[in-house]
Amino acid sequence: MTDGSEGEARSPAVAGGDTKRTGPPGYPAASGTVRHNGAAYTESAEATVMDQEHAERGDFLNGGLRPHKCSSCGTRVLVKKNSRKHTSIQWITDAAASCPVFAEQSRTGVNTALLESCASLSASIAMAARQGEFGVLDD
């Protein structure tokens, strides 16, 4: 895809940044040279940077999640505790199908996506945290 400028071809935006092939004014772009967010990379370096960004994003979203089984109903979730007060829960099943509290709410027409959590699951996670299941937590 070109934008009409001589010697410059643009590729679509990648990973939220502006990526384009560039060369000196009036000359075609050097093969294999790419600019991404103002920095120049070879195509292989660009791929490496984008792979690293993808890995970092995945680690940010999924890093530190540990499996937990609710002591009340046996529902399995992934939990991340950054502190005693901060808890992230990632459901790995349909909550309305696996948790009796969510199932009851769903039967009454409540959108379970809007429920904060199940009190039994919260209590189970709190107990596991006190027992060290999620490592040492700062206050």
Q: Count H helices, E strands: the chain?
A: 4, 6
Q: What is the pTM of this model?
A: 0.56
pLDDT digits over 74-97, tens only? 999 999 988 888 899 999 999 999
Q: What is the mean pLDDT of residues 13-19?
A: 48
Are 40 and 34 a contacting pair, CB within 8 Å?
yes
The domains of the chain are located at: 19-62, 66-130
Nearest CA-CA partner of 39 in 13, 18, 8: 18
Separation between Cα atoms, residue 118 and residue 99, nearest integer Å: 8
Torsion angles phi and psi, residue 80, rounded to 5: -130, 125
